[in-house]
Amino acid sequence: MALYSGSQQIPQQRRGLTAIDAITALIIILLVVQIWLLSATLDAFLAGHTETALPGAIVSGLLCAGCFAMYEFVRRVDRDARPNR
Amino acid sequence: MFGYEFYVDPSRCIGCQSCVKACEECETHRGHSMINFDFIDRAETIETAAYVCWHCDDPTCAQVCPADAIKKGEDGIVLSALKPRCIACSNCVLACPFGIPKIVPEYEQMMKCDMCYDRTSVGKRPMCATVCPSQALAYVRTEEIAARREKPSNVFYFGNQKITTQVYMMTPSGTDSVTLDITEFMWEKANA
Amino acid sequence: MPDGAKTTVKKQEPLWRDEFSISRADERYVSRRQLAKFLTLGSLGMFAGNLWILVKSWMRKAQVYNRSLVAKVGEIPVGGVKLFQYPKPGEQCIMIRTADDSYVAYSQKCTHLSCAVFYSREHDRLECPCHQGYFSVQDGSVLQGPPTRPLPRVVLERSGDALIAIKMEPEV
């Protein structure tokens, strides 16, 4: 195989790895937001403000769904890049 | 790989061991040569042969490693055992049909030729091919090897197992694969 | 395959060969995919935590507090404290006589990590010795430090010359 010159010849495998790296970074960002949300909701709950529990749970659910969607994308990239499995 | 191929022609080997010494020079494994250098039948003949790792397409050593230490890189080069993982169990030593991997007891590590990947990946030739005076070990383009009388072959049969490699063996023209029956060479001469 | 190695159409590989692949590139895919999976499960855990808080907030019943005698008027001097247990035994509380005719009481559990707070006469505030969290004596709000929530207050009622604890605010 030839030495690669220029980004137009990035092999399929390397592109897939870069995509997975980017998605993992996005998942981490969502996770950090979720961690903060959990701590804030817990703090409000312990202080007696129960009105934050429902919106907190809904947003947390949305964030979790986002993480799952991105993980499914990772699996798809993996399937496309390594078709023998 | 990288536009060049590695060719091994044992009939050209003169036994100078330049390849052994050149391989030893490498910083990453100084003092330990990765060349498998054989005296064919020292009592009877001065014939010698030098071999490098054949970088099989489906490397047996990697398949049998229990520690998942031997990896095949993106360019098809079979890399030497990863230092954190190798447990020096000698599984690869026993499994390799060509007998290439060697265990270095003082490091408790398997070490083998990795086609000087640090050199070949930047366009240089492996150390052994650079110094071999008779070019028994040659790292050249396909066109250059066509000038030789022998023809390259990278298909080996060990009994029923077919092995294809990245490194080519020079064989007499007309041979398209090398068939080896190991048991033939296990017969010890009586009263030798 | 892009690396030019011979590609033979193999029968479906067993899972362990795929997860512990001898190809370096494949191994990278597997380990990164596994990391993404682990993070996603962490996200699910966070969501479960939030759901638990939601369920707890729904299941919370209006708390019924018992009335409990804390101390007699004049029992402690001005600037003095008395420790008592309210609403249940084991729930440590602290009462401070801030002025001649003024008494306040709070839960003694610091809202940061539940160390016992003490009254500092010198600074006229409730102090937590563990991480230097300070609470106001007037209403239990946080003056400084790691705590985020104010100290739960014990509502005192004066009945004759007895000081009775009637409820906690906020409800715990």
Q: B156-169, pLDDT tens digit by residue?
A: 998 888 999 999 99
Instruction: Determine the pLDDT at residue B125.
Output: 93
Instruction: Determine the pLDDT at residue C16.
Output: 87
Residue B6 to chain A, least CA–CA distance (Å): 14
- Report whether pLDDT(A41) > 90: yes
DSSP 3-state assignment of B186? helix
Instruction: Determine the pLDDT at residue C6.
Output: 56
Q: Answer whether C6 sits within 8 Å of B57, measured CB to CB.
A: yes
- Report whether pLDDT(B41) > 90: no
Residue B88 structure tokens = 């020096």
Instruction: Determine the pLDDT at residue C5.
Output: 55
Domains in chain C, number:
2
Neighbours of chain C (3+ CB pairs under 8 A): A, B
The answer to whether the CB of B96 falls within 8 A of the CB of B60 is yes
Chain A positions in Cβ-Cβ contact with residue B123 (cut-off 8 Å): 3
Instruction: Determine the pLDDT at residue C1.
Output: 44
> What's the distance, Cα to Cα, between the start and end of chain B in Å?
44
Asked if C43 and C109 sit in the same domain, the reply is: no
**In sequence order, what are the residues at sequence separation of 6 or more whose Cβ sits closer than 8 angstroms to the Cβ of residue C40?**
A27, A67, A68, A70, A71
DSSP strand pairing (B178-180 vs C68-72): unpaired
Asked if C34 and C87 sit in the same domain, the reply is: no
CATH of the domain at C83: 2.102.10.10
- Per residue in B107-117, pLDDT (tens digit) is 999 999 999 99
- Report whether pLDDT(A72) > 80: yes
Asked if C75 and C152 sit in the same domain, the reply is: yes
Q: Residue B37 burial (CB < 10 Å; 0-12/13-18/19+)?
A: middle
pLDDT band at A25 (very low <50, low <70, confident <90, very high): very high
Residue C73 structure tokens = 């008027």
- Per residue in C32-78, pLDDT (tens digit) is 999 999 999 999 999 999 999 999 888 877 778 888 888 888 888 88
- Whether B86 maps to a domain, the answer reads yes
Where in the sequence is the domain holding B24, given as residue range(s)? 5-186
**Most B-contacting residue of C10, C13, C22 (CB-CB within 10 A), to test interface:** C22
- Whether C96 maps to a domain, the answer reads yes
SS (H, E, C) chain C: CCCCCCCCCCCCCCHHHHHCCCEHHHHHHHHHHHHHHHHHHHHHHHHHHHHHHHHHHHHCCCCCCCCEEEEECCCCCCCCEEEEECCCCCCEEEEEEEECCEEEEEECECCCCCCECEEECCCCEEEECCCCEEEECCCCCEEECCCCCCCCEEEEEEECCEEEEEEEECCC
- Report whether pLDDT(A1) > 60: no
Q: Does A28 touch chain C (CB under 8 A)?
A: yes
- Per residue in B171-192, pLDDT (tens digit) is 988 888 888 877 776 666 654 5
| Cα C94 to Cα C103: distance, rounded to the nearest angstrom | 11
DSSP 3-state assignment of B88? coil
Asked if C77 and C157 sit in the same domain, the reply is: yes
| Phi, psi for residue C26 in degrees, rounded to 5 | -60, -40
- By percentage, how much of chain A surpasses pLDDT 70? 84
Asked if C92 and C165 sit in the same domain, the reply is: yes
- Per residue in C100-126, pLDDT (tens digit) is 888 999 999 999 998 999 999 899 899
- Whether B192 maps to a domain, the answer reads no
Where in the sequence is the domain holding C38, given as residue range(s)? 15-59
Asked if C52 and C127 sit in the same domain, the reply is: no
Asked if C79 and C144 sit in the same domain, the reply is: yes
- Report whether pLDDT(B1) > 90: no
Asked if C84 and C127 sit in the same domain, the reply is: yes
DSSP 3-state assignment of A5? coil
- Whether B191 maps to a domain, the answer reads no
Q: What is the mean pLDDT of residues A15-42?
A: 92
Instruction: Determine the pLDDT at residue B168.
Output: 94
> What's the distance, Cα to Cα, between the start and end of chain A in Å?
24
The answer to whether the CB of C3 falls within 8 A of the CB of B74 is yes
Q: Answer whether A64 sits within 8 Å of C43, measured CB to CB.
A: yes
Q: Is the pTM of this model over 0.80?
A: no
Residue in C5, C6, C22 closest to B63 by CB: C22
CATH of the domain at B23: 3.30.70.20
The answer to whether the CB of B41 falls within 8 A of the CB of B182 is no
- Whether C97 maps to a domain, the answer reads yes
- Report whether pLDDT(B66) > 60: yes
Of A33-47, A65-79, C17-31, least confident by mean pLDDT is C17-31
Name the packing angle between helices C24-59 and A12-46 (round to 10°). 20
Domains in chain B, number:
1
- Whether C5 maps to a domain, the answer reads no
Question: What's the mean pLDDT when you consider all of chain C?
Answer: 86
SS (H, E, C) A13-45: HHHHHHHHHHHHHHHHHHHHHHHHHHHHHHHHH
| Cα C16 to Cα C30: distance, rounded to the nearest angstrom | 11
- Whether C117 maps to a domain, the answer reads yes
DSSP 3-state assignment of B72? strand
**In sequence order, what are the residues at sequence separation of 6 or more whose Cβ sits closer than 8 angstroms to the Cβ of residue A54?**
C54, C57
Q: What is the mean pLDDT of residues B40-63?
A: 94
